[in-house]
């Protein structure tokens, strides 16, 4: 049973470490401003990740197109998670192109990419970021393990200070929820009138 308390203590320590760096708070604020501005200007959000990070990418998109805490209009967001697209692209071009092909197809200037990689070194995420920049998109990176190659490629890096993927993903989902609430507060302030 010691592993249970250890896991909870470890999660708290990672969150406390992340929270103690004021730069992280400012980066979250910048991410919220970037996404809100994109939506207000008619842009959309595209998200991508592998494995559990794909689940987080999908969670991000569905909270925006569906609802989070308050009733409001849907916001244009999509996760690159279609099995037909992924298997077709992986088969014909290689797994490293599954996200970049979709970004190239659907991304436009003024859109935002949420690129999720616990290592910061996933080749298919790196390619997606390059494709996004070639389309004039801005990129927010949810990263871990020091940020990897992606930390210097994305416009706003949010790096979880851990080398354990599940701990990193736990903070990533917190950041996703915080960003969505921030977007709602920015675009639909009447829903959060005190």
In order along the chain (194 residues), what is the average pLDDT of each group of 10 residues? 91 97 98 98 98 98 95 97 98 98 98 98 98 98 98 98 97 98 96 83
Angle at 47 between CA 28 and CA 103, to 5 degrees: 125
Whether residue 31 lies inside any domain: the answer is: yes
Torsion of CA 35, 166, 49, 132, to 10 degrees: 50
Which CATH number is 41's domain given? 3.40.50.10490
Whether residue 39 lies inside any domain: the answer is: yes
- Please give the residue range of the domain that contains residue 61: 2-188
Domain total of the chain = 1
Whether residue 111 lies inside any domain: the answer is: yes
Whether residue 194 lies inside any domain: the answer is: no
Whether residue 160 lies inside any domain: the answer is: yes
Instruction: Determine if the pTM surpasses 0.85.
Output: yes
Whether residue 171 lies inside any domain: the answer is: yes
Whether residue 193 lies inside any domain: the answer is: no
How much is the pLDDT for 39?
A: 98
Whether residue 129 lies inside any domain: the answer is: yes
């Amino acid at each position: 049973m010691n592993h249970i308390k250890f896991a909870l203590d470890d999660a708290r320590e990672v969150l406390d470490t992340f929270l103690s760096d004021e730069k992280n708070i400012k980066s979250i604020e910048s991410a919220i401003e970037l996404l809100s501005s994109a939506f207000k200007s008619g842009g959309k959000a595209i998200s991508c990740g592998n494995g559990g990070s794909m689940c987080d990418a999908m969670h991000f998109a569905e909270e925006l197109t569906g609802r989070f805490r308050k009733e409001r209009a849907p916001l244009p967001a999509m996760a690159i998670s279609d099995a037909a697209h992924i298997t077709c692209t992986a088969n014909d071009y290689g797994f490293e192109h599954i996200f970049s092909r979709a970004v190239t197809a659907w991304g436009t200037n003024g859109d935002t990419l949420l690129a999720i990689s616990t290592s910061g070194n996933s080749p298919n995420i790196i390619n997606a970021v390059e494709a996004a920049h070639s389309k004039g998109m801005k990129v927010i990176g949810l990263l871990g393990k020091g940020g990897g190659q992606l930390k210097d490629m994305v416009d706003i890096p949010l790096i979880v200070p851990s080398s354990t993927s599940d701990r990193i993903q736990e903070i990533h989902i917190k950041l996703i929820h915080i960003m969505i609430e921030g977007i709602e507060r920015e675009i639909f302030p009447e829903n959060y009138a005190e």
